[in-house]
Amino acid sequence: MSADTFPKLLIEQAGKYGSGKVALREKDLGIWQSVTWAEYFKKVKYFSLGMISLGFEPGDKISIIGDNKPEWIIAELAAQSAGGFGAGIYQDSILKEVAYIINHSETKFVIAEDQEQVDKILDMQEELPGVKKIIYYDPKGMGTYRSDLLAHFPDVIGLGREYEKSHPGEFEKNVENTKSSDVAWICTTSGTTGFPKLAMLTHQNLISMATNLGRVDPKFDSDEFVSFLPLPWVGEQMMAVASGLLFGLTINFPESVESAQADLREIGPHILFSPPRVWENICASVQVKVMDASFLKRAVFNACVPIGRKWSEYKFEKKTPPFYFTLLYTLAYLAVFKPLKERLGFTNIRSATTGGAALGPDTFKFFHALGISLKQIYGQTEISGISCVHKNGDINPDTMGEPIPETEVKISETGEILSKSPAVFPGYYKQPEETAKTVINGWLHSGDAGYLTPEGHIVVIDRIKDVMSLIDGVKFSPQFIENKLKFSPYIKEAVTVGHNRDFIIAMICIDFGIVGNWAERNKINFTTYTDLSSKEEITDLIQKEVHKVNKGLPENAKVRRFVLLYKELDPDDDELTRTRKVRRHFVEEKYGEIIEGMYGGRDSIGIEAIIKFQDGKTSTIKTVMTVRNV
Amino acid sequence: MGEGCVQEEVILKGEQLTLSFGGITVLFYVSFNVKKGEIFSIIGPNGAGKTSLYNIINGFYKPQKGKLIFKGQEITHLRPDRIARLGIARSFQNIELFKHMTVLENLMLGSHIHIRYGLLKSLLYFGPCLKEEVHHRKRVENVLDFLEITHIRTKPVGTLPYGLQKRVEMARALCLDPEVLLLDEPMAGMNLEETEDMARFIIDVNREWAKTVLLIEHDMGVVMDLSDRIMVLDFGEKIAEGTPDEIQRNAVVAKAYLGEPGGAVLEK
């Protein structure tokens, strides 16, 4: 492949496939609308020229905030073609964060999906002096807006068509000028302080990552991919943008966030890459459906799942199962797993991967039992999202797989995982000190503690700063215990504490939907999350789940006491990152009183807390949490 | 609110409407003018005659006295289906949908008055019938998209939460593509977030789709925020009419609500 930047790749693919193959597909008004490669190219071209005619210059930046829609990717490529780049912003970011990203990246044009997003930007106009245009693509509710800042997406494309008449060949010249060492895109990563860090990724970074990943996990131009995870996330950029352009995948965009699951089922994708949360949710929803099913169905399901698990263990150990067992599994597959896969829309899946955080081994095995060959991806935003992956036929649920081609991974003297590849980023935008701390002599410091197995697989223990030891010196990984707890469909989030303590405690957040459902079936009245989580019956229920988990843990690492938190952990309260990882130290500090109470031997802890809503309003909550011993 | 879209043209006019059941007078010489493009709210204590007035407007009840004029044409004695065809659609206070049918089926049915083909023609599916079906489906899909309920398109209405059912109820009325939309307590029983969504939809229907909206609602914050003009009924009589500001300062209205002057109820 000669093309070394995304705009060049687009021209190449558009030339190869023309109007004979679908590049993007979007469900609109209930119908899948297709955009061929030729149309895709034209939209990027004219949008790029349209932006130029509105004053976009090489080196300028854009910010995009909105749901996954073709316009998102078109705008991204258009900015690159015009010699600029930009950043995506998570829609659920609080306003302070949105303003920070726009200002820190010196954004000139904001691409905002709809009225809701446009309102956010317009309201902050005075804080955002650098923003010269806001381009929206969903006109609903926008009819009465009168602002010189605003422009409608198709109108900008129209401007581009006009501009071309007076400047023929300019787009092609611009694309010719793009270099592989240019920054292609900025992905935000959660910083240790409140604000995200802006990691720059070059065309070379992203293309080499996609190429090398493709060598171990091949993709073909006949593959369908459904883009439903936030595009600001590096994982979605890896697949929907980088791999999509490189391999000529068809990228599908669901109608709305709520309908994503149903739309995915209609498409039946070949490739699926999701963070653990998505896999955990699917697994939990299957378990809930089974609980609600008739006795017979439940019995069949419960009989088949252990067979599937056993089958996956044969695969992990690379053994050939005995003939009678193959037969048994085939029966179980036909009776349960195949229809279940169809139900989930997973029939065509060839490449299923998880990444972004550790997925609990129980969930991992569940998908293998279904016959979906789920693989772990390990990597950071700073290495374009990936350094290691499981190879087909060499999958071990306890490891993160092996380095992809052109990638070296080693363990430092302090036990930290370091990696080096052409995909390592050039630095954080305007934060050289942070960059210097992260990349030393070309080695990316992950901050993860881990080791290499004799087979060359990488094992991640936990974040270095999170690995804990009990007072008697026993080391434990909180994440490992938490993942075990989270396998219970009733438990949404868990935080374990025990560093330099006598024993381990857990603060647990129940899954409001599933536990609420359970409460209704058991005739327990409740009003809010806080109310539900303070019910004795619910505490009993979770106690049983914790007890089950404890059985599988070594004596020293058992959870001795737990409480059900009165609220869900939320990124808006800085308790989770935007990709929904627990900010452990922050949480421990915030709930210090509860933790001390639990170690202090108290049986109940009264709490009065202030809850912050998205619109900035606050309200006070008063409740009592019961501490349980297990 | 509603700046710029209200026109001077009167689209719906009530003249001296009087309705009684036996000895009970429900409406007593009520007159009003609704201007094209405005949000016109009707408020009043329980039993004031608000829903009865709606029932007269869409032809369920026939008033003993008075006239109802829609776009210059008298419609007082027309059948409900004729009135719907002329362009007045309504959503109901208590949800009146087919619970076992999907959202899409309910809405397709809701727009049946626009269907031109007859029974015989429909036996031959292809050709004009198919074309019409496609056309209707498109209209229905636009409404689904507009009210942000595409994700429940194929769900049976009975399985949906109340707030969404209310939205489907409004969607069904919109599928008739009316000029005047009568909304009967669209926010009743909704939480704060659902209420705000609904308020936004009403504003959008009014401004983007240029529909004249008549609104009965008990949530005074909503009424005061959305309405161009408000009419107040009390025991079947019209006691006031004016902009939200005027109504909030009106002593008679305060008395009707509180039994005495000084109307805290009407504060936002």
Query: Is A402 contained in some domain?
Result: no
The CATH code of the domain that includes B266 is: 3.40.50.300
Residue A109: which residues within 8 A CB-CB, separation 6 or more? A51, A54, A56, A60, A62, A63, A79, A131, A132, A133, A134, A135
Query: Is A447 contained in some domain?
Result: no
List of chain A residues whose C-beta atoms are within 8 Å of the C-beta of residue B161: none
Query: Are A31 and A123 in a shared domain?
Result: yes
Residue A478: pLDDT band with limits 50, 70, 90: confident
In this predicted structure, what is the pLDDT of residue B268?
A: 46
ipTM: 0.73
* % of chain A at pLDDT higher than 90: 65
pLDDT per position as a tens digit, A585-621: 889 888 998 999 899 888 888 888 777 666 666 777 7
Query: Are A501 and A362 in a shared domain?
Result: no
Final residue in a domain of this structure, among A270, A289, A324? A270
Do B144 and A255 lie within an 8 Å CB cutoff? no
Quick check: A230 and A72 in contact, CB under 8 A?
no
Using DSSP bridges, classify how beta strands A374-378 and A388-389 pair: parallel, antiparallel or unpaired. Answer: antiparallel
- The helix (run of H) or strand (run of E) holding residue A432 is helix A432-438
Query: Is A425 contained in some domain?
Result: no
Query: Are A335 and A234 in a shared domain?
Result: no
pLDDT per position as a tens digit, B32-87: 999 999 999 999 888 888 999 999 998 999 999 999 999 999 999 899 988 988 99
Query: Is B200 contained in some domain?
Result: no
Query: Is B126 contained in some domain?
Result: no
DSSP per-residue string spanning A289-330:
HHHHS-HHHHHHHHHHHHHHHHHHHHHHTT-PPPHHHHHHHH
Query: Are A75 and A46 in a shared domain?
Result: yes
Helix axes A170-177, A70-81, angle to 10 degrees: 80
- Answer with the residue of higher pLDDT: B114 or A264: A264
Q: Please tell me the least confidently modeled range out of A458-462, A578-582, B28-32.
A: A578-582
Furthest C-alpha separation in chain A: 78
Average pLDDT value for chain A: 91
Using DSSP bridges, classify how beta strands B237-242 and B73-74 pair: parallel, antiparallel or unpaired. Answer: unpaired
pLDDT per position as a tens digit, A80-114: 999 999 999 999 888 999 999 999 999 999 999 99
B98 reaches A (C-beta below 8 A): no
Final residue in a domain of this structure, among A218, A235, A270? A270
Q: What gap in Å lies between CA A97 and CA B31, rounded to an integer?
A: 54
Q: What gap in Å lies between CA A230 and CA B51, rounded to an integer?
A: 46
Q: What gap in Å lies between CA A552 and CA A524, rounded to an integer?
A: 30
Q: What gap in Å lies between CA A503 and CA A630, rounded to an integer?
A: 12
Average pLDDT value for chain B: 86
Do A143 and B153 lie within an 8 Å CB cutoff? no
Query: Are A95 and A65 in a shared domain?
Result: yes
Query: Are A105 and A181 in a shared domain?
Result: yes
Q: Which of A427, A389, A384 is nearest to A405 (CA)?
A: A389
* % of chain A at pLDDT higher than 70: 98
Quick check: B39 and B202 in contact, CB under 8 A?
yes
Residue B263: pLDDT band with limits 50, 70, 90: very low
Query: Is B183 contained in some domain?
Result: no
Query: Are A279 and A304 in a shared domain?
Result: yes
Do B4 and A262 lie within an 8 Å CB cutoff? no
In this predicted structure, what is the pLDDT of residue B238?
A: 92
pLDDT per position as a tens digit, B209-241: 899 999 999 888 899 999 999 999 998 899 999
Angle (CA) A227-A230-A236 rounded to 5° is 55
Three-state secondary structure call for residue B27:
strand
Q: Please tell me the least confidently modeled range out of A8-17, A364-373, A579-588, B30-39.
A: A579-588
Query: Is A590 contained in some domain?
Result: yes
- Token pair belonging to A312: 């996956």
Q: Which of A95, A115, A104, A94 is nearest to A61 (CA)?
A: A104
Residues in a beta bridge with B41: B215, B230
Query: Are A302 and A373 in a shared domain?
Result: yes
B118 reaches A (C-beta below 8 A): no
Query: Is A438 contained in some domain?
Result: no
List of chain A residues whose C-beta atoms are within 8 Å of the C-beta of residue B144: 29-30
Q: What gap in Å lies between CA A247 and CA A372, rounded to an integer?
A: 22
Domain that holds residue B242: 1-87+213-268
Query: Are A331 and A258 in a shared domain?
Result: no
Specify the number of domains making up chain B. Answer: 1
The single-letter DSSP state of residue A147 is -
Query: Are A216 and A67 in a shared domain?
Result: yes
Query: Is B194 contained in some domain?
Result: no
Residues in a beta bridge with A582: A576
CB environment A190-210: b (16+ within 10 A), e (fewer): beeeeebbbbbbbbbbbbbbb
- The helix (run of H) or strand (run of E) holding residue A155 is helix A153-166
Specify the number of domains making up chain A. Answer: 3
The CATH code of the domain that includes A559 is: 3.30.300.30
Give me the torsion for CA of B214, B217, B219, B221, rounded to 10°: 20
Q: Which of A161, A130, A135 is nearest to A148 (CA)?
A: A135
Average pLDDT over every residue of A314-340:
93
Residues in a beta bridge with A280: none
Query: Is B105 contained in some domain?
Result: no
Query: Is B145 contained in some domain?
Result: no
Q: Please tell me the least confidently modeled range out of A108-117, A386-395, A534-543, B114-123.
A: B114-123
Q: What gap in Å lies between CA A493 and CA A487, rounded to an integer?
A: 10
List of chain A residues whose C-beta atoms are within 8 Å of the C-beta of residue B141: 29-31
- Token pair belonging to A43: 């939209």
B85 reaches A (C-beta below 8 A): no
Domain that holds residue A10: 6-270
Average pLDDT over every residue of A47-66:
96
Quick check: A477 and A448 in contact, CB under 8 A?
no
pLDDT per position as a tens digit, A268-320: 999 999 999 899 889 988 988 888 889 999 999 999 999 999 999 999 988 89
Query: Is A437 contained in some domain?
Result: no
B207 vs A28, A144, A255: nearest CB? A144
The CATH code of the domain that includes A86 is: 3.40.50.12780
Residue A428 CA, distance from chain mean position: 20
Query: Is B266 contained in some domain?
Result: yes
List of chain B residues whose C-beta atoms are within 8 Å of the C-beta of residue A143: 207-208
Query: Are A576 and A487 in a shared domain?
Result: yes
Query: Are A149 and A65 in a shared domain?
Result: yes
Q: What is the 3-state secondary structure (H, E, C) of A330-356?
A: HHHHHHHHHHHHHHHCCCCCCEEEECC
Final residue in a domain of this structure, among A378, A396, A423? A378
Interface test with B, best of A28, A29, A114, A517 (most B CBs within 10 A): A29
Chain pair A-B, CB pairs under 8 angstroms: 34
Quick check: A591 and A507 in contact, CB under 8 A?
yes
In this predicted structure, what is the pLDDT of residue A616?
A: 62
Query: Is B152 contained in some domain?
Result: no
Do A29 and B208 lie within an 8 Å CB cutoff? no
Does pLDDT of A44 surpass 50?
Answer: yes
Interface test with A, best of B208, B209, B211 (most A CBs within 10 A): B208
Query: Is A393 contained in some domain?
Result: no
Q: What gap in Å lies between CA A257 and CA A255, rounded to an integer?
A: 7
pTM exceeds 0.90 for this model: no
- Chain A residue with the nearest C-alpha to that of B200: A141
